Structure 1
Amino acid sequence: MRVGICGGGLGGVSAAIGLASLGFEVEVFEKSPTLRATGAGLNLWPNAGRAIYGLGLREHYDAIAVKLDRYVGFGADGEQLFSKDTSNWPQTYGAPSVGVYRLALSTMLAEAFGKDRIKYGHEVLSIEDKGDRAVCHFTNGESYEGDLIIGADGIYSVIREKLVGGVQFRPNEHHAFRWRAVVDLKDVDVDPAAQTGFYTSGGWLSVIPIGNGKAYWFGSVSGAKTLDDFIAFFSGWTKTHIPRTLGITPRETIVESPLFDVDGLPFKWTHGRITLLGDAAHPMMPDMAQGASQTFIDALALRNAFARSSDVDEALAAYEAERRPAANYVVKCSQKGSFLGRHNVSPVAIRYEEEIEAHVA
């Protein structure tokens, strides 16, 4: 079985690892010139850990991930708002909640699959389903023909647009942007085994450890349109670490991401010998921190579907039947916003148990 995967991010490479373990001939095509690792840090939940373990990567994952034993939240005045103990989650849910450096995770996956097997500089131009095979054409003039092509080309997927179109994005009702960066953990006054967040109805900022002495901070402010707006919002939070943390973060290292909500999810992922995976299949807001986690679950589900059936159409139908309703449910959860926002949702660690683990079949 020849499988082409368009997208060399977390989803594409983890799917490649899973399918290659079945003996498939897998090739990964990535539009970027080098390994893609935007986003700086990640909070990955037990459901992601279980999927990564299922792909045979437990030892590698545990070596780079920092176990989070607590989620704690404070107000702008430094008073504690909540605390959630998650130290027993590995026993309860089969894996810990973790913080991880995105480049370390991407590198781990690439090395597990084989760095030299990822073909960079391959941006999708068009794609064709030919019944018993599929063909993808790239902007560099090259083409690939295989028994199956997987579109793992991200939230603004070209393959999804070519297949189904109709997916529109609208400004998010909660926050227009998210800002984030990596700093030295020793320079931030937070618990090194926790996600530490500071919240008001107008904005928030959280910090997690991500390994190698580094911390990842990320936050949003309602109405903020520039980095200066974001920083100014926290200037009076002098009973927290935030003004100092923002002050010591080099501005050129701060990543700004516009937040757009999806309006109309793909009603179908699979079209003949072409299917979607990860953000290409279920673009979601980051407020549940489930985008990457759901992507790893997709990769394992696809691998398991082909382990159960050698019939391509049957395996793809089983994969989509298992994953599309479940992922779309999480998309809806992610649209509710963050703690102390307008929908009055609980802190994310509590929501994870109530809205994610409680719905695991």
Structure 2
Amino acid sequence: MTKPAQVLIVGAGIGGLTLALQLHEAGISARLIEAAPELRPLGVGINILPHASRELHRVGLTDKLASAAVQTAESVFYNRFGQFIYSEPLGAAAGYAWPQYSIHRGDLQLILAAEVEQRLGGDAIALGHTFRSFTQDEHGVTAEVETADGTTEIRAEMLIGCDGVHSAVRSQLHPGEDALVYSGYSMWRGVTRHERVLTGASMIRAGWLATGKLVVYPIRDNIDGSGRQLVNWVAEVPVPQRGDRDWNRDGHIADVIEPFADWRFPWLDVPELIRNADQILEYPMVDQEPLDRWSFGRVTLLGDAAHPMVPRGSNGAGQAIVDTRALTDALRAHTDVVSALVAYERERLPATAEVVRLNRTNPPDAILREVYERTGDKPFDRIEDVISKEELATMLQHYRQVTGSSHEALSMST
């Protein structure tokens, strides 16, 4: 059995790595185990909203984020005919003290991992360690872990499952509660080397799910010295469910291109963007019903392991990062581990359950649904005759309030 740590974190994804940094700032020792034999820059783009970027700034990542990410400045909405619907400023451009970052998921993970190893030590992340099960008693938790050399045990005061949508920790806590809820849509994601689109700091949403919806935003700036960017795109299409949830499953152009074949706008040739992708990944838009409980004694869940949600609204990674602050604060406030984990659950479980449900029905994309339904999927003469700016603004503000990313929510928290 290896030397005990105060906190054993299962999973070295964005949530687990951020948690390790938060705990280190609080003077709480942590160790991470990760099944992958190495950390590689997998995936495509994600967005970190101000309520999450605040936490990354608090652990000292401001400069590294500024150099690796694009600071998103505006959100802009169009119908599938390329007609403008609405725009609003985002992040620092909207007066937040913390930017909104668009970044390659792999870039963020590697930044976090490097910081963890620098601050906690080179052995803080144990790669090639697959969590199998745990037992616990009144003094701590023992995790059974499989490595290339066989099975070993790791002892800690508490165990936090940050092992994603396929969480083995969650499966032990809630056996049989892994039923997926499929939305009826799948998403194809890719990154393309491209000239700047609109402002070069725009998050673009266009179309609607019934006929194909597109999200486009840059995640790396000036990649070739001549101003081109690495542009992330997400295309959602209604299809029967195809496969399980694997973030890194290869997708194919032929499966996604048809609904967007004539999307050629003055500001973007969408078929060209899709065809020129470095890689295309396919993912079914699935989530799970929110759990009624995360914390069992000295064990709890965090991030996708606790609250897998449909990837809309830029809140998957963000809610995991917010979880890390809540858990760290609870451990600061309670000397008893069990009480701390219950307090963390009491704060975050209902809040994230509401986000899970809202992402199913009224994410920011719901603006596009309203226009689609009110116009009958036809071009309009004036958007003001379809829907008012006030109604559009109210819809977006409601989403920010529920997810904790509004000005008011951030001003009330410390």
TM-score (norm 2): 0.79
Which residue identity does 2:165 align to in structure 1? I
Determine which of 87, 111, 114 is the counterpart of 2:114: 111
Determine which of 147, 154, 166 is the counterpart of 2:164: 154
> Which residue is 1:255 aligned to?
281
What is the number of equivalent residue pairs in this alignment?
A: 355
> Which residue is 1:132 aligned to?
139
> Which residue is 1:196 aligned to?
204
> Which residue is 2:380 aligned to?
none
Q: Is the 8 A contact 1:185 1:209 kept in 2?
A: no
Q: Distance in 1 between matches of 2:179 and 2:285?
A: 9
> Which residue is 1:229 aligned to?
255
Q: Distance in 2 between matches of 1:14 and 1:193?
A: 25
What is the deviation of 1:65? 2.6
Q: Distance in 2 between matches of 1:126 and 1:10?
A: 22
Q: Is the 8 A contact 1:284 1:291 kept in 2?
A: yes
Which residue identity does 1:126 align to in structure 2? S
Which residue identity does 1:60 align to in structure 2? K
> Which residue is 2:214 aligned to?
205
Q: Is the 8 A contact 1:202 1:341 kept in 2?
A: no
What is the deviation of 1:168? 3.1
Task: Confirm whether residue 246 of structure 1 aligns to residue 246 of structure 2.
Answer: no
Change beyond 3 A, Cα 1:57–1:303: farther
**Which 5+ residue runs of structure 1 have no aligned equivalent?**
none
Q: Distance in 1 between matches of 2:325 and 2:59?
A: 6
Equivalent residues in 2 for 1:166-185, closer than 5 Å:
166-175=176-185, 177-185=186-194
Q: Is the 8 A contact 2:310 2:359 kept in 1?
A: yes
Q: Is the 8 A contact 1:135 1:146 kept in 2?
A: yes
What is the deviation of 1:350? 5.0
Describe the SS at the equivalent of 1:284: coil
What is the percent sequence identity of the aligned residues? 28
What is the deviation of 1:146? 0.6
1:136-178 per-position Cα deviation (integer Å, ceiling 9, x unaligned): 1123312211101110000121101101234333342341x21
Which residue identity does 1:172 align to in structure 2? Y
1:14-36 per-position Cα deviation (integer Å, ceiling 9, x unaligned): 11111122333311100111115
Q: Is the 8 A contact 1:54 1:300 kept in 2?
A: no
Describe the SS at the equivalent of 1:215: strand
What is the deviation of 1:349? 5.3
Q: Distance in 2 between matches of 1:346 and 1:129?
A: 50
Change beyond 3 A, Cα 1:168–1:341: farther
What is the deviation of 1:346? 6.0
What is the deviation of 1:88? 4.9
Task: Confirm whether residue 277 of structure 1 aligns to residue 302 of structure 2.
Answer: yes
> Which residue is 1:57 aligned to?
61
What is the deviation of 1:309? 2.9
Describe the SS at the equivalent of 1:147: strand
Q: Is the 8 A contact 2:142 2:155 kept in 1?
A: yes
What is the deviation of 1:351? 5.2
Q: Distance in 1 between matches of 2:198 and 2:175?
A: 44
Q: Distance in 2 between matches of 1:45 and 1:352?
A: 12
Q: Distance in 2 between matches of 1:194 and 1:19?
A: 34
Q: Distance in 1 between matches of 2:316 and 2:91?
A: 23
TM-score (norm 1): 0.89
> Which residue is 1:325 aligned to?
350
Q: Distance in 2 between matches of 1:119 and 1:284?
A: 28
1:63-84 per-position Cα deviation (integer Å, ceiling 9, x unaligned): 3232111111222222112212
Task: Confirm whether residue 292 of structure 1 aligns to residue 292 of structure 2.
Answer: no
Larger CA Rg, structure 1 vs 2: 2
Determine which of 329, 333, 336 is the counterpart of 1:308: 333
Q: Distance in 1 between matches of 2:307 and 2:132?
A: 21
**Which 5+ residue runs of structure 2 have no aligned equivalent?**
222-228, 243-250, 374-390
What is the deviation of 1:314? 2.6
Which residue identity does 2:36 align to in structure 1? S
> Which residue is 2:33 aligned to?
29
